[in-house]
Structure 1
Amino acid sequence: MATQVSTTVGEAIADIVSGSTLAVGGFGLCGIPDKLIEAVAESGATDLEVYSNNCGVDDHGLGILLSLGRIRRVTASYVGENKEFARQYLAGELEVELTPQGTLAERLRAGGNGVPAFYTPAGVGTPIADGGMPWRYATDGTIAVASPPKETRVFGGKRYVLEAGIHADFALVHARVGDTHGNLVFDKTAMNFNPLAAMAGRITIAQVEELVEPGVIHPADVHLPGVFVQRIVHTGPQDKRIEKRTISTTEGAA
């Protein structure tokens, strides 16, 4: 299917409805598809299930959807700097599946490559494999929903746990440059989870800072081929924010 060039972010995400599953690129605030997330917030879609490394900060990125109560469940590798994320989780308002960061990355990649599941040593001997991780708390602080135990097997004398690939209805990603065929180029560390999230989406929507014609991007420079991208929208330069500012108070410090 040819990549569709959308004229607005609202048009690009128009069929994301309540109950949709979303794979979202970014790490903290680096490389997040901020304009697409804002458009989803404006659309009114709720009861969303999100696969992402984390949930931004309280007032930016996925934190916007969290603060509006639009997210039902999150699969992530850490809570990070988002106080509202932690509050909702501990208050029993949000279901959270915490998973090792490398496992999350591989689950996204596996889903995009048609691999239903894989074995990994990460998490063996912990509640990740044995079950009992609190997915959702009750209002009294007890565990309302706990993770089930996962299948384990021994290969070469070492135990591994079976992890499932991730498939999402939609993937939202950010790239520095994209062409109208959907080929994407990411900017240094802003690549992070973006290619992996893009692969996991049934419909992948990319916001790009610069949109060019086919042939402008040299084939050797393509980080993600257009076969994984169904829609692309030009959003211009990204509003880059600092996630956490640390300032020295020592006199004379640089």
Structure 2
Amino acid sequence: MDWFTVEEWTAIGLSLKVGTIAMVASLPPAILVAWVLARGRFPGKALLDGIVHLPLVLPPVVTGYLLLLSFGRRAPIGAFLAEHFGLVFSFRWTGAALAAGVMGFPLMVRAIRLSMEAIDERIEQAAASLGAPPWWVFLSVTLPLSLRGVAAGAVLAFAKALGEFGATITFVSNIPGQTQTIPAAIYTYTQTPGGDLGALKLSLVAAVLALGALVVSELAVRRRRGREGRA
């Protein structure tokens, strides 16, 4: 007996796809923004920090609506991307990945920033005093020493993507087989008579996936600590 229906397997697969792409696409800009916030000294830094963390305090529906206004088919950015690159976000799984990435971005940035701020700046200054340019100091010193924060931020963003609902359903709706992720499928089951079992099954899957991601991250961090201890 199959524990899951075809629709449920599709929702699970789509959630993993959306979460992975959202995490991978968000990681480079998150590292850059975290570095700017951790080491930068410039006017407007507090404003940038506030903008980065805005998705955490705004209602997710508002974030989804702003994405729809910006990346919808007739929106300025959305129309440009669709016309010149054939990239459509609204009511597509790509939009779900975008929404998930935006919602998880502040968590990723914060974890990486805290890790970078914990690095003794004298180590970076020593590398710079030997003639290393800033970009090489970042790649050879700052980034390797902050990998624990990078890993933690990536896992947090992935877990957030798996559970993202409000912004996603506002931006890309709840289309089975196309944009219906695990949270959207759970919502559908809760609105359907006799759907309690399906909602429970998918809730357990979501919990297992999130817990599994955290366990893998913790094991990776411990393994790295072990290597550093033997070095």
Class of the TM-score when normalised by the shorter of the 2 chains: under 0.3
Scaled by the length of structure 1, the TM-score of the pair is 0.25
Higher helix share: 2
Whose Rg is larger? Answer: 2
**Which has more strand, going by share of residues?**
1
